[in-house]
Structure 1
């Protein structure tokens, strides 16, 4: 899989945010047939777009006006029928989180926090215009890049993130989660760190220093699922990532995710997806 890293010194000095017209990458990454991912956050604001994107094996139809909101390391393939029109804002997480002194800030946003929410957000024209306006402010400030530009850029990005979060939670009828319980945020971070070896509710409850009932209650209240379901979701996501982005065998992926035998891995995978790991890999390749 091809990986794109952030070009920090594009403007002569280190800058962890960038903004440009979608047309600038239409004949590059947006037309790339190979599976690829980025190491940074991406916010696409489309005035016009027609086609779809395969995101971690799921097909998402694209049509404007709409936003496409991608956290780092999301494998994707684009299939666009026409030249898209709009703006893209990309940034490294530390650009905003270090400034806010909140390492969990981006995880508090539904669209970046991996809460099983869609990556697309339909937009009304007036709201799209407002988001494009903020994007253009970011682009103008990057082009100017004065000594105080970093402060304005963070302010513009913060407005953009909050405004999108407000629209997102309204559209999908979600509870705003900017101040979500820190135990849940820690739980999600622990899952990403330990999912290959730890797969029981007790193990994560112990890491959080809470009892299993407390963790189950938090998960049910936040996600509408118990803790084991959230653990299985994260485990499946990790297995899918290896199937799509590595050449590891089914047996290798099985043992690296702490399954006692490949047959148990296959049974687990089929119980959640209704297809085998081999079929999933082949279907996505096709």
Structure 2
């Protein structure tokens, strides 16, 4: 699978944020006939035009005006009849995390990690001008490149991310307490790091320094589901990513994800995805 990296020196000096029109990269992403991914965060503001994107094995349809959120390393393939009027904001995670000294900041944003809601935010016409103004500010500051531009760009991006999170939480009627729930943010971070070798509530509770019942209670409050379900969903997502992003055999992927036998892996995958690993790869990796 193709993977695109951030062009840090596009403007001469290192810069880990960019703002551009989708038409500028249409030939490198929209026209691709195969799945691809990036190593950075992407936010797409669709102002005119409709289409869909094959994202993590599911087709997501979008209608303008709307916002699409894509975290790093997630396989996708565009399906649009024509290049829509769209502005993108892309950035490396460290651009914000290092500045804020908070490695959990991007985990606090619902749209980059909430498995129960789509990574799409429909916009009302009154909201479009607000986000256009912020993206215009980012693009304008990049073109000026003053000595203090890095600070101002972080400020603009921080404001953009927070306002989008508010709108997203309101639209999907999310509780809004994830931002303050440090234990749950750490839990999500630990899942990303250890899901291939740790797959029980007991193991993650130990890493967090809390008991199993407390972990499940916090998960229920923050996500509306128990800890075991969240772990199984994260494991499934990791398996899906491995199936699409590599040519490893089903057996190799099963052992990498701590299954005792490939048959157990196939049984697990089919129980959650309602399709076998081989059929999933065949349907979405071509």
Q: TM-score range by the shorter chain?
A: over 0.9
Between stretches 86-95 and 27-36, larger displacement belongs to 27-36
Matched residue, 2:6: 6
CA contact (8 A) 1:110 1:177 kept: no
Q: Secondary structure of 2:7's match?
A: coil
CA contact (8 A) 1:26 1:84 kept: no
- Paired with 2:255 and 2:76, the residues of 1 have a C-alpha distance of 26
Matched residue, 2:139: 139
In structure 1, stretches of 5+ residues that fail to align are: none
Aligned 1:69-88 pairs, distance under 5 A: 69-88=69-88
Matched residue, 2:51: 51
- Could you tell me how far 1:49 is from its partner in structure 2? 2.5
**Is 2:173 aligned against 1:173?**
yes
Deviations 1:247-267 (A, max 9, x none): 111111111111111111111
- Paired with 1:130 and 1:227, the residues of 2 have a C-alpha distance of 37
Aligned 1:42-191 pairs, distance under 5 A: 42-177=42-177, 179-191=179-191
Matched residue, 2:248: 248
Matched residue, 1:218: 218
- Paired with 2:95 and 2:177, the residues of 1 have a C-alpha distance of 21
Matched residue, 1:273: 273
Q: Secondary structure of 2:30's match?
A: helix
In structure 2, stretches of 5+ residues that fail to align are: none
Between stretches 113-122 and 3-12, larger displacement belongs to 113-122
Show structure 1 runs of 4+ deviating over 4 A. none
Deviations 1:125-156 (A, max 9, x none): 22122111110110010000001111111111
Deviations 1:39-61 (A, max 9, x none): 11111001012221000101000
CA contact (8 A) 2:104 2:189 kept: no
CA contact (8 A) 2:35 2:285 kept: no
**Is 2:185 aligned against 1:198?**
no
- Could you tell me how far 1:180 is from its partner in structure 2? 3.1
Deviations 1:168-212 (A, max 9, x none): 011111122462311111111111111111111111111111110
Structure 2 length as normaliser, TM-score?
0.97
- Paired with 1:283 and 1:177, the residues of 2 have a C-alpha distance of 37
Instruction: Provide closer, same or farther for how the CA distance between residues 285 and 71 of structure 1 changes in structure 2, counting only shifts above 3 A.
Output: closer
CA contact (8 A) 2:178 2:185 kept: no
Deviations 1:104-124 (A, max 9, x none): 111101001344321111001
- Paired with 2:90 and 2:279, the residues of 1 have a C-alpha distance of 34
RMSD, aligned α-carbons: 1.2
- Paired with 1:131 and 1:177, the residues of 2 have a C-alpha distance of 24
Matched residue, 1:25: 25
- Paired with 1:245 and 1:49, the residues of 2 have a C-alpha distance of 29
- Paired with 2:207 and 2:258, the residues of 1 have a C-alpha distance of 18
- Paired with 1:27 and 1:201, the residues of 2 have a C-alpha distance of 45
CA contact (8 A) 1:105 1:178 kept: no
